[in-house]
Structure 1
Amino acid sequence: MKRIFLIAALFCGVLMVLQSCSPKGAATTQPVKRSNVTGNWILNDITFEGIPEMNVKSLFGESSYKCFIGSAWRLTNSGNGSYTLGSECGGKMQTIYWSASPKEDTFQFKKIYQGDKAKNVTEGYRMLLSSATKETLTIKTPVEYGNGTAYIVLNFQATK
Structure 2
Amino acid sequence: MKKIIFLMLASFLVLSCGTSKVVKESRKTLKGNWTLDNINYGDANGVYEVELFDDASSECFVGSTWRFIPNNNFGNYEINGANCSSGKRYFVWTIPDVKNASSYDILLKPTDEKMNSTRNNKGYRLSLDYLSDDSLRFTQTLQVDGKPFTIYMNFTKISD
Same fold (TM over 0.5): yes
Q: What fraction of aligned residue pairs are identical, expressed as a percent?
A: 23
Q: Which residue of 2 aligns with 1:45?
A: 38
Residue by residue, what CA displacement relative to the aligned partner does 1:58-112 show, whole Å, maximum 9, x if unpaired? Answer: 1111241100000000100121110000242242110110112353500111110
1:35 alignment partner, SS class: helix
1:148 Cα offset (Å): 3.1
Match of 1:58 among 51, 74, 78: 51
1:66 alignment partner, SS class: helix
Q: Which residue of 2 aligns with 1:14?
A: none
Contact 1:136-1:158 within 8 A present in 2 as well: yes
Gaps of 5+ in 1: 1-30
Gaps of 5+ in 2: 1-21
2:90 alignment partner, SS class: strand
Q: Which residue of 2 aligns with 1:98?
A: 93
Q: Which residue of 1 aligns with 2:3?
A: none
**CA RMSD of the aligned region, Å?**
2.4
Question: Size of the alignment, in residue pairs?
Answer: 129
Contact 1:69-1:86 within 8 A present in 2 as well: no
* Correspondences of 1:1-160 after superposition (within 5 Å): 33-77=26-70, 78-88=72-82, 89-101=84-96, 103=98, 105-113=104-112, 117=116, 122-160=121-159
Which of these two proteins has the greater Rg computed from alpha carbons? 1
Letter in 1 for 2:95: A
Distance 2:49 2:135 in 1: 24
Contact 1:98-1:109 within 8 A present in 2 as well: yes
Change (3 A) 1:73 1:114: closer
2:95 alignment partner, SS class: strand
Greater helix proportion: 1
